[in-house]
Chain A
């Protein structure tokens, strides 16, 4: 079993829909990252969370440390949101190594 599990693996939605992507992890963490990867391969950091909730534009990320679960929400989705969204965790101790989920491929249809 992977230390970081994401669901769903693939998600297709109509433009304007509210999107939720989930991430569960099994280790103690000091931080959780939500990342966006476009087909060219480059990764952009969206959020870094250690507790609570963060919002940036139409994106909202929440984390529940006790339940070892985080969600990424996209409101009023747009075709340009189409990408792979990856959850990555940094363990409590040691170096800054990240453990990644396998990603959620999001496609927004106009």
Chain B
């Protein structure tokens, strides 16, 4: 039990649609990162939020956006879905100054 919960666990969307994935972190974990993991690959960094501000971004287009809320929850939004967006999306949070990272179970997104 990592204390990080993600929803939904699985979903199917149509190309061109928009999706919102949610993550709830432990209290006090004000750093949250989102990762995309394609089948058979390691996770790729999408972006990180710290105290509700974006604090670093990987090589993902602007249609990937996020929000972090004061209650330690966060969202990943993807607009204009493409088939290649099909992947496992992982949320990871940490307490400031601590090296331990806690991952959620992930959200499996299939775009058809």
Which residues of A pack against B, CB within 8 Å? 4, 31, 33, 35, 40-45, 48, 50, 86, 88, 90, 94-103
Cα of A6 to Cα of B89 in the assembled complex, Å: 22
CB-contact partner of A97 in B48, B102, B104, B105, under 8 A? B48
Helix, strand, loop or mixed for chain B's interface?
Answer: strand
Task: Tell me whether B106 and A41 are in contact (CB under 8 A).
Answer: yes
**Which residues on the B side are within 8 Å of A35 (C-beta)?**
103
**Which residues on the B side are within 8 Å of A101 (C-beta)?**
42
Range for the number of chain B residues in contact with chain A: 20 to 34
Cα of A101 to Cα of B37 in the assembled complex, Å: 11
Which residues of B pack against A, CB within 8 Å? 2, 31, 33, 35, 37, 40-45, 48, 50, 55-56, 58, 88, 90, 92, 94, 99-106, 108
Q: Of all chain B residues, which has the CB nearest A40? A: B105
Task: Tell me whether B104 and A45 are in contact (CB under 8 A).
Answer: no
Q: Of all chain A residues, which has the CB nearest B43? A: A100
Question: What's the least CB distance linking A78 to chain B, in Å?
Answer: 21
Known: A42-B106, A96-B33, A96-B94. A86 touches B58 (CB 8 A): no
Task: Tell me whether A103 and B31 are in contact (CB under 8 A).
Answer: no
Q: Of all chain B residues, which has the CB nearest A100? A: B42
Task: Tell me whether B45 and A42 are in contact (CB under 8 A).
Answer: no
Task: Tell me whether A41 and B2 are in contact (CB under 8 A).
Answer: no
Known: A41-B106, A44-B103. A98 touches B41 (CB 8 A): no
